[in-house]
Copies of this chain bind each other. A is one copy, B any other.
Amino acid sequence: VGEHSIVGPNRYGKSAVRVFRVDPDGGRVTDLTVDVACTGEFDAVHERGDNSPVLPTDTIKNTVFALAQDRLGHEIERFGEVLATHFLEFPSIDCVAVTIEERPWTPIADHTHAFTATDGERRTARVLAGSAGDRIESGIRGLTVLKTSGSSFVGFPRDRYTTLQEADDRILATELTVEWRYRDPPDDYSALWAAVRAALVDTFAARPSRSAQEQAYLMGDAVLAAQPNIEAVTIGMPNRHHLAVDLNRFGHDDRGIVFQPTTEPYGDIWVTVERG
Contacts and interface: CB of A to CB of B under 8 A. Distances in A.
Interface of A: 2-18, 35, 37, 39, 42, 45-59, 61-63, 66, 74-78, 80-81, 83-85, 88, 90, 93-104, 118-132, 136, 138, 141, 153-164, 185, 188-190, 209-214, 216-218, 220-222, 224-225, 232, 234, 238-239, 249-251, 263-276
A140 to B, nearest CB: 10
A15 B46 contact: no
Contacts of A11: 268-270
Give the secondary structure class of A's interface.
mixed
* Number of chain copies forming the complex: 4
A44 to B, nearest CB: 10
A268 B36 CA distance: 9
A125 to B, nearest CB: 4
Nearest to A119: B120
Contact of A271 (B3, B46, B128, B220): B46
A62 B162 contact: yes
A161 B249 CA distance: 8
Contact of A164 (B16, B56, B239): B56
